Structure formats: C-alpha cells, structure tokens
C-alpha cells in the first residue's frame, strides 16, 4: 500500500480487503526494498510470491488452469502461493514499481478477461481499472476456477463490503445531515451503474507495458493511444 493510501483512505478498499480476507497483510512503503518486514516475508522459503501487475507476457490468474510456472513451486515443492497486489493510484503504483527491485523481480500475473468496476462513486482513468477489493475478488474467482482454492463462493463477501461502502457514500452525498468521509456536498439524486471513466490525457496506463515492463518511459510522440 502506498503511504498516501494508508494515511488518507482509512476506509479505502485496501483496508476493506484486509478486514475481509484471512491471511492477508499490508506493507506500506514507497520503496519496498527498504521495508525490513517486507524483505523478511519475501525471504521465507515456504512461499511462492507473484505480483498482479501488467506485463508483456504474464501468467493469467483467470485463465482456468494453473500456470505452468506454478507447477514446481506449488505442487513439487509444496510452497504456499502469495499474491501481491499494489494498492495505490496508477502513478503511485508505477513509482513503487520503479523504486522497488523486489517487486520488479516477482513473476507477474494479470487478467485475461475484462471486468467492469462497480466502484461507482469513483472516477477511473481507464475502463480496465478495478478497485483493490474487486481485484482480489476476481483473483479468488480465478484461483477457484483453476482448482487451487476452494472458497465456496465466500469471495462474494468482498463485493458485499464494497457495495456497503458505495451505498453509504451515496447516502451521505445526497443527505446534508450525514457526514461523509469523502467531504462532498449534496448534489441531488444520481443514477449509478458502473464506475465512470475519466481518461487522463497524456498519462500512460496499462498498455504502456508495450513500451516498458513497469511503465516508466515516456511514449513516442507518434504513438497512438488505444481507445
């Protein structure tokens, strides 16, 4: 978790995820290479660490089958899978990747399919964006589909927590007598269905992995942005 998220978003979806998912941990730092607790965790030989992050040739967590690169550590060596997810805005996530060699070195997993965010009270910079809690939900769906986890549908608790947060914030937005953690004033009744997309001009997003695996290089002036 980026320190900005840790300080400003006390009920953000990263914290909701931590409260909902057993055996989950939060490490907060910009450069995780300097976080001793994180380094100690990585050095534990009982775990196989992977990072959910865009890459040119990632393994897919929602591909329906256990990735071949997991076979030896998980089946032969009996290691425990640890999935790392960065909880930050996209610019902050890229900075964490740029500074943290340990994150860069982790095997990358990503989504094969497209999902629509239900975090309707927040603008997203791209239609492929999901909140942290939705990301974990989709990961659990994928792990269950490949037969690595048997959650029996309990991952729906993550979406229930998100829906409760969204419903409360919408209620606060529309009722001047209720304090809102978002600090917004009532602006009338709104209809929400999917997260609204507010594309960030001149800002690279996930497709910048075609230029750089961690998205830190500026695009060529003639590069045409994907729709």
φ, ψ at 108 (rounded to 5°): -100, 140
The pLDDT value recorded for residue 195 is 53
**What confidence tens digit (pLDDT) does each residue in 162-221 have?**
778 777 776 776 666 666 555 555 455 555 555 555 555 555 444 445 555 554 444 444
The pLDDT value recorded for residue 201 is 54
Contact 64, 145 (CB under 8 A): yes
Task: Report angle CA 52, 195, 82 to the nearest 5 degrees.
Answer: 15
Rounded distance between C-alpha atoms, residue 14 and residue 31, angstroms: 18
DSSP lists the bridge partners of residue 103 as none
The pLDDT value recorded for residue 184 is 52
Rounded distance between C-alpha atoms, residue 208 and residue 29, angstroms: 24
pTM: 0.74
Query: Which stretches of the chain drop beneath a pLDDT of 50?
Result: 186, 204-208, 215-227
């Amino acid at each position: 978790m980026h320190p900005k998220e840790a300080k400003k978003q006390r009920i953000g979806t990263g914290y909701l995820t931590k409260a909902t998912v057993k055996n989950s941990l939060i490490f907060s730092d910009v450069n995780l290479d300097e976080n001793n607790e994180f380094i100690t965790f990585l050095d534990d030989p009982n775990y196989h660490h992977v990072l959910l992050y865009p890459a040119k040739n990632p393994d897919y967590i929602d591909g329906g089958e256990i990735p071949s690169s997991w076979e030896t550590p998980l089946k032969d060596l009996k290691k425990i899978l640890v999935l790392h997810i960065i909880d930050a805005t996209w610019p902050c996530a890229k900075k964490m990747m740029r500074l943290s060699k340990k994150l860069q070195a982790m095997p990358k997993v990503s989504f094969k399919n497209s999902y629509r965010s239900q975090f309707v009270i927040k603008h997203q910079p791209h239609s492929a964006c999901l909140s942290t809690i939705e990301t974990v939900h989709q990961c659990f769906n994928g792990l269950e589909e490949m037969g690595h986890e048997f959650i029996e549908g309990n991952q729906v608790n993550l979406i229930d927590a998100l829906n409760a947060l969204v419903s409360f914030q919408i209620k606060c937005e529309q009722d001047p007598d209720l304090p809102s953690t978002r600090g917004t004033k009532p602006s009338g009744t709104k209809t929400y269905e999917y997260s609204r997309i507010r594309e960030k001009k001149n800002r690279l997003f996930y497709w910048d992995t075609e230029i750089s695996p961690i998205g830190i290089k500026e695009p060529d002036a003639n590069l045409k942005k994907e729709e």
